[in-house]
Structure 1
Amino acid sequence: MGQTWFKYGVCILAVLLVVSACKDSSKQKEAMPAQDQKWWKEAIVYQIYPRSFKDSDGDGVGDLQGIIQKLDYVQSLGVTAVWLNPIYTSPNADNGYDVSDYRNIMEEFGTMEDFDQMMDGMHQRGIKLVMDIVVNHSSNEHEWFKQSRSSRDNPYRDYYHWWPAEKGNPPYRYSLFDAKGDAWQYDSLTNAYYLHYFAKQQPDLNWSNPKVRQEVYDIMKFWADKGVDGFRLDAFQFAAKDTTYPKFPDGFEKDFIQYYAMQDGLHEYLKEMNQAVFSKYDVMSVSEGAGRNFEDAHELVDQDRNELNMAYAFEGVDIPKYKGYDLATMKEVFTKWDQEFAHDGWLSIFLANHDQARMVSRWGNDSEAYRDVSAKLLNTFLLSMRGTPYCYYGDELGMTNIDFDSISQYQDIAAINGYQKALDEGEDMELFMELLNFSSRDNGRTPMQWDATKNAGFSEGDPWLPVNENYMELNVEKENSNENSVLNHFRKMTILRKENPVLVYGDYQLVVPEHPTVYAYTRTLGDEKMLVLLNFSEEDTTFDLNLDGNPSTVVINNYTDLDITDKTVRLLPYQAVILKMD
């Protein structure tokens, strides 16, 4: 069955390649300087959360052999790179974001031989591999930390941030994951506190120590020498700290980015990292977070800075709140970020990842009536914007939030500790659970839905996190055989993007910003121009085509029909259309 649906998918791709209006790519590329063309700008990144992708051995946890089994599927999507969430040895307090050995593979996921086989399989299919590097903090079970806490005069003591108890309580710092919200954890072994911006099992590394920095560069070179094509630096905007620990104003945690991000020393660390690692390999580099403002972001990624390749900013993805969001704000935020980086620097474009709830449940409409069309609309947006798109596993299917009604069902440490904190502080727990059900990170971590068999074909055993109940209707096998599915629309969009440099490098211009339900913009490169129309609404709506140029070709459409005249387009609910303009 697997071979049958894969061959069918390849056939679909072949037909689309023939019929797509994607014939002017070389002409378009002539419109830009050759030095501006980079593989990581043209990449389409597919994020795999390995714990939830495919389980090969029946223990309920996804693994590397599971990914290997599905590499033909990944290739069929048309993506060109995979960002893999952490697979290093870890006690799993935060699902791998607490690393105890950076040069080994978590036993649940497999072996280093499995990793090599997986990476070779990706490279054979023309897919690059981007690794998550978690070095703002380590696990408290890392040998460095074990040594650091063993005595105050241990050589590893300064690998972490310590505050002697005899100095009194350390200045308050906010922890994002701690149930008490306090980022200082007392350790009786040496009568001192250690700093952890996240969970207490994730002590922060002391980047002001050059030995720590060299350790990290050596780790990165280890993976680059193996053939890894890029690095995503987790929470790295927080790595530099003011170790005099000044008192922060009351309530600072409500805007903690202003106090935690981009502190003195961070740029020096990144320049040093670039010199030691990035400049020696043809690797992509991106840091989670883009600082406090545009100036911070530019200093991270402008070409003459010699730091990182691209920014990964959260202002856009943070827009949706419970009960909806304002489309005007979405237009404003994505437009201002594009305009700011129109001439220097480069952006990441994303609507979901492992730290977010499902894309279609947050940005679209996950009701049965509109789930598919709104998922197609969102993928059209992602793959038609300037910047490197990051597509999260399952969003190519339109996977939705899961419905939990008890805290006992959650696995995420942020949800569990957040619940305890809310309980301790006397919050309205009914409201808390309602909000958590919508926004929890576990929504985006449910197992991949491969088919209609037991556990959606993810595992023969009990999955580490429940499979969404809608898997019988929403799965790869079913969507693969439907030419009009969300999955095959995603494939059409990746082909369109790869064959039309205008969608990668072209200028972006917002059109009719005041339209209440339509997000419209043009992409222009040389003589090529495309108009993107996205109806973020359950209602039919009209859009006036009083623009420079006339639509000549419907390049892609998430419906089978389009009501269009010379001057007006009538869009159905959540209709997404790209028009080639004369």
Structure 2
Amino acid sequence: MLDVAWWRRGVVYQIYPRSFQDSDGDGIGDLEGVRRRLDHLVALGVDAVWLSPIFPSPMADFGYDVADYCGVDAIFGSIDDFDRLLDDAHGRGLKVILDFVPNHSSEAHPWFVESRRDRSDPRRDWYIWRDAAPGGGPPNNWISNFGGPAWTFDETTGQYYLHSFLREQPDLNWRNPELRAAMADVLRFWLDRGVDGFRIDVLWLLIKDEELRDNPENPDYAQGDPDIGRLLQTYSSDREEVFDVIRELRATVDDYDDRVLIGEIYLPVDRLVAYYGPDLSGVHLPFNFQLIFADWHARAIERRIAEYEAALPPGGWPNWVLGNHDQKRVATRLGGPQARVAAMLLLTLRGTPTLYYGDEIGLADVPVPHDLAQDPWEKNEPGHGRDPARTPMPWDATTNGGFTAGAPWLPMNDVGALNVAAAARDPRSILALHRALLALRRGSPALSLGAYEGVKAQGDVLAYRRRHGEEELLVALNLGDEGAELALPIAATALLSTHMDREGAEQPGVLKLRPNEGVVLRL
């Protein structure tokens, strides 16, 4: 493969550690469990593993409330377990990306314990404290992303502190240079150990309006939507000063060879691409979630691809995501047949794809009754919980799917009907399709690095070419439940079908696509 950065040519695989593999029988996945399952990732054909937070935490938000940025929570193991995992992953050619959570810490973090102790404490300004509004109550109208006010009153010091999420997750003050220096030291701690990069949580929230002005009401808010949607996040997110912070984070990472920064950013495309930064000094990959929220019709997706490609800054490398720990699974959103077509779309578009654990076997959301909910968002706002997309990985048909010898922390799917071992034995399973797609991508410069060009198609067919050097491929995806046709410009050979039954077949001048079928052809 050509000598380009691994994060450009590779594929990222997200693991939610609590749900991947339990090695000690407590019902919660851990680092040793991940280490034992690395061969699955090698056989799948991915290049990098992104681990959701593993740091010491009271687990109010399951690790996104960090009490120590330079350690490993005992639930997941020890720092030695992490080092073994890192060494074994590198030995298998896999990169390891950590989840960095800089917008907020846990209230149990020593920094916050000190900050709330006294208004004159040296770390007071490491968090965002304000007096009550002139008439009493919170300093402004901001809403927590999990519902309710974004401010909590602290009796000890008589001020409110800001929390964009749970009250147990106080927001850090990124306008404070000492805090920024401390966070740079956190990155260096892990980079020195050999991690290959970071996914930065809620990157667009790091800097707030200096005057803490009220957010305006959202005229499009609908009853039943999450509480956070009542207001436009004009002053609590996506502030211009955030790019100074990102430039500093990037400079720290650039002191090390061949590392990557990925930013979680839920913003429209025109704002999303700004996070590449001036002269590409921002994050390498601002996460692009368009496929998660797209209307699943060929012309709608075609427009999204074209708009995104046109908005990218010169030299900016695209990326695509179909699912993650905060969204409904792709098999739930689209159904099984279209989940296969979606996999072909994800793995053949230009840019770096990210796969969410379980999607490679077609795992769907698992219903979790409200009384069994673990997610704090579900507890605060019933109906918005994320537990169904975070359930344990079913490895085989044994009790608890081979995930744990104990009681799994969340309910599991019907492991007898769907598990990794059974999928691995089926040459036409969605797992077999993912392996074939990833192998094809790995061996094809056109797919991994080549240019993208849309191809005119009718109805619910999405088509595009991928080119690199002398290699030219055409991808045709039927997103509909009816058969469809696509005129081919020249003779073509089918390399892979989502039905996995026409590989190597010469195609005539018209490609006849079956319902819910995608095909990759060599022109």
TM range (shorter): over 0.9
Letter in structure 1 aligned against 2:373: Y
Q: 1:343 to 1:550 in 2, by over 3 A?
A: farther
SS of the residue aligned with 2:293?
coil
Shift of 1:290: 6.2
SS of the residue aligned with 1:316?
helix
Which position in structure 2 is the counterpart of 1:300? 275
Matches within 5 A, 1:57-456: 57-165=24-132, 167=134, 168-169=136-137, 170-178=139-147, 181-251=148-218, 253-254=229-230, 256-289=232-265, 291-294=267-270, 296-301=271-276, 304-319=279-294, 325-341=296-312, 343-362=314-333, 364-365=334-335, 371=336, 373-404=337-368, 406-419=369-382, 433=383, 436=384, 440-456=385-401
In structure 2, how many angstroms separate the alpha carbons of the residues matched to 1:545 and 1:293? Answer: 32
Q: Does 1:459 align with 2:404?
A: yes
In structure 2, how many angstroms separate the alpha carbons of the residues matched to 1:172 and 1:343? Answer: 39
Q: Is the 8 A contact 1:290 1:300 kept in 2?
A: no
Q: Is the 8 A contact 1:534 1:577 kept in 2?
A: yes
Shift of 1:257: 4.7
Q: 1:312 to 1:103 in 2, by over 3 A?
A: same
Letter in structure 1 aligned against 2:468: L
Which position in structure 1 is the counterpart of 2:514? 572
TM-score (norm 1): 0.84
Q: Which runs of 5+ in 2 are unaligned?
A: 220-228
Q: Is the 8 A contact 1:56 1:65 kept in 2?
A: yes
Q: 1:174 to 1:327 in 2, by over 3 A?
A: farther
Q: Does 1:532 align with 2:475?
A: yes
In structure 1, how many angstroms separate the alpha carbons of the residues matched to 2:511 and 2:11? Answer: 30
Which position in structure 2 is the counterpart of 1:21? none
Shift of 1:338: 2.4
SS of the residue aligned with 1:280?
coil
Shift of 1:559: 1.7
Q: Which moved more, 1:347-356 or 1:256-265?
A: 256-265
Q: Deviations over 1:177-226 (max 9, x none)?
A: 13xx2111111111111111111111110000001101110000000000
Q: Is the 8 A contact 2:250 2:261 kept in 1?
A: no
Q: Deviations over 1:317-359 (max 9, x none)?
A: 2236xxxx54432222133212322843122211101111111
Q: Is the 8 A contact 2:209 2:236 kept in 1?
A: no
Letter in structure 2 aligned against 1:400: A
Which position in structure 2 is the counterpart of 1:508? 452
SS of the residue aligned with 1:62?
coil
Shift of 1:263: 0.6
Which position in structure 2 is the counterpart of 1:19? none
Q: Deviations over 1:138-162 (max 9, x none)?
A: 1111111111111111111101111
Q: Per residue, is there more helix in 1 or in 2? A: 1
Which position in structure 2 is the counterpart of 1:555? 495
SS of the residue aligned with 1:286?
strand
SS of the residue aligned with 2:290?
coil
In structure 2, how many angstroms separate the alpha carbons of the residues matched to 1:524 and 1:120? Answer: 36
Shift of 1:520: 1.5
Letter in structure 2 aligned against 1:480: A
Shift of 1:560: 4.2
Q: Deviations over 1:420-448 (max 9, x none)?
A: xxxxxxxxxxxxx5xx5xxx421220100
Q: Does 1:497 align with 2:438?
A: no
Q: Is the 8 A contact 1:241 1:264 kept in 2?
A: no
- Select 1:472's aligned residue among 393, 400, 416: 416
In structure 2, how many angstroms separate the alpha carbons of the residues matched to 1:130 and 1:117? Answer: 15
Q: Is the 8 A contact 2:494 2:521 kept in 1?
A: yes
Which position in structure 2 is the counterpart of 1:18? none
SS of the residue aligned with 2:387?
helix
Q: Is the 8 A contact 1:338 1:386 kept in 2?
A: no
Shift of 1:524: 1.7
Q: 1:251 to 1:500 in 2, by over 3 A?
A: same
Letter in structure 2 aligned against 1:556: L
Q: Which moved more, 1:46-55 or 1:259-268?
A: 259-268
SS of the residue aligned with 2:394?
coil
The ranges of structure 1 where at least 4 consecutive aligned residues each deviate by more than 6 angstroms after the TM superposition are none
In structure 2, how many angstroms separate the alpha carbons of the residues matched to 1:271 and 1:486? Answer: 40
Q: Is the 8 A contact 1:261 1:291 kept in 2?
A: no
Q: Is the 8 A contact 2:57 2:67 kept in 1?
A: yes
Q: 1:342 to 1:558 in 2, by over 3 A?
A: farther
TM-score (norm 2): 0.93
Q: Which moved more, 1:523-532 or 1:126-135?
A: 523-532
Which position in structure 1 is the counterpart of 2:224? none
In structure 2, how many angstroms separate the alpha carbons of the residues matched to 1:258 and 1:318? Answer: 21
In structure 2, how many angstroms separate the alpha carbons of the residues matched to 1:568 and 1:542? Answer: 10
Shift of 1:120: 0.4
SS of the residue aligned with 2:82?
helix
Which position in structure 2 is the counterpart of 1:545? 487
In structure 2, how many angstroms separate the alpha carbons of the residues matched to 1:403 and 1:312? Answer: 27
Letter in structure 1 aligned against 2:276: V
Shift of 1:566: 2.3
Q: Is the 8 A contact 1:61 1:108 kept in 2?
A: yes
In structure 1, how many angstroms separate the alpha carbons of the residues matched to 2:433 and 2:158? Answer: 59
Q: Is the 8 A contact 2:217 2:230 kept in 1?
A: no
Question: Identity percentage over the alignment?
Answer: 37
Q: Is the 8 A contact 1:545 1:566 kept in 2?
A: no
Shift of 1:48: 0.6
In structure 2, how many angstroms separate the alpha carbons of the residues matched to 1:311 and 1:63? Answer: 28
Q: Is the 8 A contact 1:58 1:461 kept in 2?
A: yes
Q: Is the 8 A contact 1:535 1:571 kept in 2?
A: yes
Q: Which moved more, 1:500-509 or 1:248-257?
A: 248-257
Letter in structure 2 aligned against 1:555: L
In structure 1, how many angstroms separate the alpha carbons of the residues matched to 2:513 and 2:54? Answer: 44
In structure 1, how many angstroms separate the alpha carbons of the residues matched to 2:246 and 2:257? Answer: 15
SS of the residue aligned with 1:150?
coil
